[in-house]
């Protein structure tokens, strides 16, 4: 391990290893991989089976909190939460839900930068399962093929609908777009507010987090500056 490199539960600083508890590691918002950590049997159960399991366990959580599930307002909550988890806010975990992205020949020979600005997304922090709310800026330079504009939005939404870390979300969007388009010339910037920062812990409601990815020509200063001008 190199100096100042972070491992799963430790940080090496000047040859001294500092170890963290799981809770401390979560508060540091550290990601362990570019890929979302998934078990091999993640999709052995059907969506309906998963919803039944989540409904049962969320009911136990609510009862542990002392809530009265016979109340008309609460009795349907476990089922609603289960459906929301599988069909909506965590639907991006299932690769079957990856948006189909059709490529089109760049017949009009547009070889300049294309930027899709201010793509609003809602995700959830994988450390506390509370919302991340932000905007993504996505750009690419065509390499013979182009995609429909709405597909850029759908790609952002797909990867956002997972328990996430912002750095990973940024990388996943960029890497998938590079693969689909067959070009390294992709840039992604995300500016997001983390409710695990604003509603708990340090309770800072004014800060936001910015992450970025620059590939291919976007690593060049002039191209990056052009991208930054467009989004600001």
Q: Poorest-confidence range of 2-6, 73-77, 220-224?
A: 2-6
Q: 166 an active-site residue?
A: yes
Final residue belonging to a domain, choices 54, 77, 96: 96
Q: Is 196 among the residues known to form the active site?
A: yes
125 is catalytic: yes
Active site residue 128: yes
149-160 and 166-181 are packed helices; what angle lies between their axes, rounded to 10 degrees? Answer: 140
Q: Report the CATH number at residue 42.
A: 1.10.286.10
Domain boundary among 96, 114, 148: 96
Q: Model confidence at 108, in pLDDT bands (50, 70, 90)? A: confident
CA angle 148, 152, 154 (to 5 degrees): 105
Catalytic option among 55, 126, 137, 164:
126
Q: What is the pLDDT of residue 144?
A: 85
Q: How many whole angstroms separate alpha carbon 46 and alpha carbon 86?
A: 10
Which residue in the list 137, 157, 164, 166 is annotated as catalytic? 166
Mean pLDDT of 113-128: 96
Q: For residue 2, is it within any domain?
A: no
Q: Which of 43, 67, 96 is the last residue of a domain?
A: 96
Mean pLDDT of the chain: 88
Contact assessment for residue 230 and residue 116, using Cβ atoms and an 8 Å cutoff: no
Q: What is the pLDDT of residue 207?
A: 80
pLDDT above 60 for 120: yes
Widest CA span in the chain:
63
* Residues 83 and 112 occupy one common structural domain: no
- Please tell me which residue in 55, 128, 158, 178 is annotated as part of the active site: 128
Residue 17 has pLDDT above 80, yes or no: no
Which residues lie below 8 Å from residue 232, measured CB to CB, with a gap of 6+? none
CATH number, domain with residue 129? 3.30.1130.10
- Answer yes or no: do 91 and 107 share one domain: no
> 31-78, pLDDT tens digit by residue?
567 899 999 999 999 999 999 999 999 999 999 999 999 999 999 999
Map tokens 């309906």 to a residue. Answer: 48
Is 223 found in the same domain as 126? yes
The total domain count for the chain is 2
């Amino acid at each position: 391990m190199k100096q100042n490199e972070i491992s799963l539960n430790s940080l090496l600083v000047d040859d001294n290893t500092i170890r963290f508890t799981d809770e401390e590691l979560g508060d540091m918002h550290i990601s362990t991989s570019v890929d979302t950590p998934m078990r091999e049997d993640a999709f052995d159960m059907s969506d309906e089976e998963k919803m039944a399991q989540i409904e049962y366990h969320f009911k136990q959580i609510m009862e542990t909190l002392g809530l009265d599930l016979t109340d008309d307002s609460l009795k349907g909550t476990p089922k609603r939460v289960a459906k929301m988890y599988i069909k909506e806010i965590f639907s991006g975990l299932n690769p079957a839900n990856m948006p189909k992205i059709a490529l089109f020949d760049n017949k009009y020979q547009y070889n300049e930068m294309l930027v899709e600005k201010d793509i609003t997304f809602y995700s959830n922090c994988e450390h506390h399962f509370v919302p991340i709310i932000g905007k993504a800026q996505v750009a690419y330079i065509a390499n013979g093929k182009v995609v429909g504009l709405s597909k850029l939005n759908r790609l952002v939404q797909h990867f956002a609908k997972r328990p996430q870390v912002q750095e990973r979300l940024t990388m996943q969007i960029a890497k998938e777009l590079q693969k689909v388009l067959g070009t390294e010339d992709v840039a992604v910037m995300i500016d997001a507010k983390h409710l695990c920062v604003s509603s708990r812990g340090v309770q800072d409601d004014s800060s936001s987090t910015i992450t970025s990815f620059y590939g291919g020509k976007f690593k060049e200063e002039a191209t990056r500056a052009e991208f930054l001008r467009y989004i600001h």
